[in-house]
Structure 1
Amino acid sequence: MRIATALLAGLLSLGVQAAPADFVSLDRNLWPEQLDSPALFDVASRAEILSFARVLHESEMLDEQALATRLGLRQVNLPVVRAVRARLWQRLWTSYQQAQRSCGQDASFCYPVASMADLRMQAATFATDVGTFYTGWVEPSHQFHSRYLDEQLRKAAVFPQTSSEVDKLSSRERNGEELNDRMFLLTFVGGPGPEGSSTDALTDYLRRQKLEGIFFVLGNRFKQRRDAGPVASLYAGQCVGIQGWEYRSHAQWQGWQDSLRRSQAQVQADLPEQYVPLFRPPYGQRRSDGESFMASQQLRVSLWDIDAQDDGPLSAEASAQRVMTLMLLWRKGVIQFRDSLPKAQPALEWLLQHTAQSGIGWEDCQAYGLRE
């Protein structure tokens, strides 16, 4: 066991992250070990779970006004915030239990945690006993998780008036929590791009790697691509869901039903083998009263819980490092990349290279897409 007693210089105040940036990653080079075995994946996983649990615990000390100020909002939907916090705690507890299974091989970050109360107590104090081997990781991880938590709480604070991927609106929706431990699903949105674009390079790369994912296509872009030539070969070996006819919120759009009908009919007609009955709402925004229509179309909402944020200032490597950190934190989930943008493929290449020996698995897209 490499844990040695060391004290941190101090804790960041709760107000330091009051206005978090929209895009945040964590440099994985600050973690002193490669994830080249399942046991070392678990070590890093336990560390990230405890780091996030620490900031989640800290956030509970804020009253309603202080929380609103921290999130940059005038008011917050406190019941939803509390419900999301409770769900996050449950996921952390489940994840930590899974990650403890390898403690016999490597006891780093293995603490006597036998209940949710134990996890909360350990989260509040663990940073004072991390050890010199991990000192360079502790504070950057704390800052990342503070900002990442603010992303989640800001969405919770305005939910369901503004819906997002932070929570489900019905039990028929999927968000990755239904996967098994260490299993991840690759998904891609915003495409397809024109012929010869990053979509082509990415699908070809996935086939060469013998990997598959779900491509949620926009109906208008799909039609443009189909009008220019066949699309079956583009998505060979992959799965295709829909994202609506245009990339716009389907929560307030009066034509949202027609958007889904047109997109669904287009993809089903042109790609009957690759089509899966899933809808990825742009921005995660969908209608709370749309369940009956979705059921009539035999569609399910497919959300995500690991966003690569490859549509902003993060480099491809920083985007991949963000994904890896969240994979360690949640230990399963639906990863979202944007195939029409050039960062997705190099980010995925980095991710696959750095997790090749970690013992994770990639979910079969057809099995996920057709699951009842």
Structure 2
Amino acid sequence: MRRIFVSAILLVFAAGSLHAAGPSEVAGGDRTFWPTPIHSTESFDLASRAELLAFGKALADSEQLDDQALQQRLQIKSFDHASVEHIRAIYWQRLTTNYMLAAAHCDNQQLFCAPVHNQSDFKRAAIAFTAPPQADYRAWFDQASAFHRIYLDELLRLAALFPKVNSEVETFSAQEIDGNGLGDREFLLSFDDGPTRAGGSTDAMLQILRSLHLNATFFTLGGSLQARLQQTSPAAVAATYQGMCVGAHGWEHRSHSTWPAWQDSVTRSIALVHDNLPDSYVPLFRPPYGQRRPDSGAFFAQHGLHVALWNIDSQDWNAKVDADQVKQRVLSLMLLWRHGIILFHDIHTKAQVAVPWLQSQLHDTDVQWLDCHRFSAGA
């Protein structure tokens, strides 16, 4: 029997910072239940409509729970009702927009093509969504229902803890970008936590990207980048990242939400990239764990920086999720959100499997892998 979810490992944070342990379950994808190939714009939209309705159904079902029941389901000690309701409202809006894009060229005789003209229409369609009569899709429906319930809980958990424990689930200011402003079918690849030592997984990932004629934004840790510069040379590291975009991820992997020295961490790590990788440098900062101070917008604006978050988390850092689950999870989320910034980690090897597979699966679907330089210029 295929596994559709895995237990998450606990996140380990620096002492003295306020964090929450990870969710007890993490949604792991399995696209083998989807009965038809995704090899065209039309087949992408068909699969997208199905995922949107399945997630909408999970979202509607969650609204039947009171706060105490949802808090118990999410297994958290604190619960911010207003934040959860705010995120739910955002999701209904995004789901409706995405569904109308996915259904723009279908009719009521086609699968998963309900008549939707506004948010109320979509919500009714999601509430009424049941197992399709076609036998080929029933196994997918069962798998997708479980996947989206668990994935929704990942998101609602972040929302319930926000802003006490902040994350990528919401932005604080215009200096923060999370991928939701991209165009339909536009996706940016991003990688955190590198670089590894010369010849390690960072180099392997860069080689794969070049072989696929893709680029990506790499958010480097200051300490790791400094070690790599000392191991080789600035010229060698610059050549390693040639054609890519490089931002900063802080001097060490420590939450910037309560760290007194967070501003120094930002400026030191940004300066290291700027001074040593001038051709690849982009003025983007990604806070570790997505955690930053709510009032940090003015600081980033003063320094000409944007905070780059994400809206598609591959979970490739999770030791209990294998590369196959990672790639299939990401594809399901690309079908659901239809655009965004995808989070991978170049210090792990799972993206080396996932990225080539995703490109091959979506080759003829009009999906656009954004040029990182174009993205940075428009930030």
Gap change, CA 1:188 and 1:84, over 3 Å in 2: same
Question: Residues 105 and 223 of structure 1: is their aligned pair in 2 closer, same or farther, counting only changes over 3 Å?
Answer: farther
Say whether 1:59 aligns with 2:59. Answer: no
Q: Structure 2 CA distance, aligned partners of 1:167 and 1:270?
A: 32
Per the TM alignment, residue 367 of structure 1 is displaced from its structure 2 partner at its CA by 1.4
Choose from 208, 228, 240 the match for 2:231: 228
Q: Deviation digits for residues 198-232 of structure 1, max 9, x if unmatched?
A: 10011111112110110000000001001111211
Question: What is the TM-score with the length of structure 1 in the denominator?
Answer: 0.92
Contact 1:76 1:157 in 2 (8 A): yes
Q: For 1:69-218, list aligned pairs within 5 A.
A: 69-103=72-106, 107-218=110-221
Distance in 1 (CA, whole Å) between partners of 2:140 and 2:77 is: 34
Report the AA paired with residue 165 of structure 1. E
Structure 2, unaligned stretches of length 5 or more?
Answer: 1-21
SS in 2 for 1:145: helix
Deviations 1:283-303 (A, max 9, x none): 110001211111111111111
Specify which of 328, 338, 342 is matched with residue 335 of structure 2.
328
Partner of 2:256: 250
- Name 2:15's counterpart in structure 1: none
- What one-letter code is carried by the residue in structure 2 that aligns with 1:318? Q
Secondary structure of 1:127's counterpart equals coil
Query: Could you tell me how far apart the structure 1 residues matched to 2:26 and 2:71 are?
Result: 20
Q: Does the CA contact (< 8 Å) of 1:25 and 1:144 recur in 2?
A: yes
The residue aligned with 1:10 is none
What secondary structure is seen at the aligned counterpart in 2 of 1:161?
coil
Q: Aligned residue for 1:369?
A: 376
Residues paired across the two proteins, number: 354
Alpha-carbon distance between aligned partners in 1 of 2:268 and 2:277, rounded to the nearest angstrom: 14
Q: Is the 1:39–1:105 contact (alpha carbons within 8 Å) kept by the matching residues of 2? A: no
Structure 2 match to 1:287: 293
Whether 1:271 and 2:277 are equivalent positions in the alignment is yes
Residues 161-207 of structure 1 deviation map (CA, whole Å, 9 limit, x = unaligned): 11100000112210111100001000000100000001001111111
The 1-side partners of 2:245 and 2:352 are apart by: 17
Query: Match for residue 10 of structure 2?
Result: none
Task: Quote the RMSD (CA, aligned, Å).
Answer: 1.5
Deviations 1:133-169 (A, max 9, x none): 2111001101000000000011100101111000001
- Contact 2:131/2:138, CA 8 A, preserved across alignment: no
TM-score normalized by structure 2?
0.91
1:317 aligns with 2:320: no
What secondary structure sits across from 2:282 in the alignment?
A: strand
Aligned residues of 1:65 and 1:75 also touching (Cα < 8 A): no
> Deviation at 1:20?
6.1
Displacement of 1:350: 1.6
> 1:273 corresponds to which letter in structure 2?
D
In structure 2, how many angstroms separate the alpha carbons of the residues matched to 1:151 and 1:366?
31
Structure 1 residue 64: deviation in Å?
Answer: 1.1
Query: Which residue of 1 is the match for residue 14 of structure 2?
Result: none
CA distance in 1, matches of 2:98, 2:192: 27
**One-letter code of the match for 2:77?**
R
Structure 1: unaligned runs, 5 residues or longer: 1-18
Q: CA deviation at 1:87?
A: 0.4
